[in-house]
């Protein structure tokens, strides 16, 4: 089964497939954009470090340290 990673957006949450992430670019200190395969850009209201850590954990098959859904 494909694991999705939840990322905070300005209006809620987006769920991305880690295997489709091409790049992550920091926009401001607490914001970033995730560039996905197929040309989709996902804006996030989290730091690059937080997103990268969760995507790497999902790709390694490990449980993320903390997902936004656990804090809701």
Question: Domain extents for the chain?
Answer: 5-63
The C-alpha atoms of residue 43 and residue 45 are separated, in whole angstroms, by 7
pLDDT at 64: 52
Report whether 23 contacts 60 (CB < 8 A).
no
The C-alpha atoms of residue 12 and residue 44 are separated, in whole angstroms, by 10
Token pair of 4 as six digits: 């999705």
Rounded average pLDDT per 10-residue block, the chain, 72 residues: 86 93 91 95 94 90 54 40
pLDDT at 70: 46
DSSP bridge partners of 33: 25, 43
Report whether 50 contacts 71 (CB < 8 A).
no
Report whether 43 contacts 4 (CB < 8 A).
no
């Amino acid at each position: 089964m494909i694991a999705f990673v939840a990322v905070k957006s300005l209006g809620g949450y987006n769920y991305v497939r880690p295997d489709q992430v091409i790049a992550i670019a920091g926009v401001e200190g607490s914001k970033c954009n995730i560039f996905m395969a197929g040309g989709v850009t996902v804006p996030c209201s989290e730091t690059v470090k937080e997103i990268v850590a969760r995507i790497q954990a999902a790709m390694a098959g490990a449980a993320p340290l903390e997902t936004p859904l656990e804090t809701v």
